[in-house]
């Protein structure tokens, strides 16, 4: 086997402090769950859950959802590159009762929002972008 890589590069681990997490969860609760969203997840691109909030009525398997969401996002992102786009700005799956919206927070994190018919897509996108701005100001 060749050694055409930098042997000194070790892999990085990510930790978030108690206070940062509290602030993020507060943003997710106030901006999104209180605004009528059913469930919201902040995940990393590897599919790990960083923070989650819901309205108490959600029984989804969130760990599997996070794994699939990060993979789905990565696949769509790669498709964008293939057709010459930097990224697709709107990622959204519409269901009859529940819909899922994906939004990139920064190169490492994604915000996944699950919402019902009572929230319109336009309003949701507005709230999500406000929440992302607040989260990014924490880092």
User: What residues from 22 to 61 belong to the interface with another protein (CB under 8 A)?
Assistant: 22, 44-50, 61
Q: Running DSSP on this structure, what letter comes out for residue 3?
A: -
CB of 71 to another protein, least distance (A): 6
Find the Cα–Cα–Cα–Cα dihedral 62, 24, 93, 45, rounded to 10°.
-70
Q: Which of 57, 78, 86, 137 binds another protein (CB under 8 A)?
A: 78
What one-character DSSP code corresponds to residue 104?
Answer: E
Point out which span in 6-14, 98-106, 113-121, 129-137 binds another protein (CB under 8 A).
6-14
Q: From the list 29, 55, 58, 67, which residue makes contact with another protein (rule: CB under 8 A)?
A: 67
Give long-range contacts, CB 8 A cutoff, 24+ apart: 13-16. 14/44, 14/108, 16/50
Q: Are 73 and 110 in contact (CB under 8 A)?
A: yes
Beta bridge partners of 115: 99
* CB 16 to another protein: min, Å: 7
Among 26, 34, 68, 129, binds another protein (CB under 8 A): 68
Q: How far apart are CA 42 and CA 49, in angstroms?
A: 6
Minimum distance, C-beta of residue 1 to another protein, in the bound complex (Å): 6
- Contact between 116 and 58 (Cβ < 8 Å): no
By the criterion CB under 8 A, which residues form the site for another protein? 1, 4-7, 9-18, 21-22, 44-50, 61, 63-64, 67-68, 70-71, 74-75, 78
């Amino acid at each position: 086997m060749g050694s055409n890589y930098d042997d000194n590069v070790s892999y990085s681990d990510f930790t978030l402090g108690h206070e940062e997490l509290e602030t993020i969860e507060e943003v997710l609760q106030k901006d999104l769950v209180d605004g009528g969203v059913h469930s919201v997840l902040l995940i990393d691109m590897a599919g790990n859950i960083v923070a989650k909030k819901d309205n108490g009525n959600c029984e989804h398997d969130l760990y599997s959802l996070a794994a699939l969401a990060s993979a789905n996002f990565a696949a769509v992102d790669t498709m964008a590159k293939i057709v010459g786009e930097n990224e697709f700005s709107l990622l959204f799956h519409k269901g009859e009762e529940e819909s899922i919206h994906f939004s990139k927070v920064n190169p490492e994190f994604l915000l996944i929002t699950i919402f019902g018919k009572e929230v319109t897509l336009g309003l949701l996108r507005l709230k999500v972008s406000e929440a992302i701005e607040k989260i990014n100001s924490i880092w």
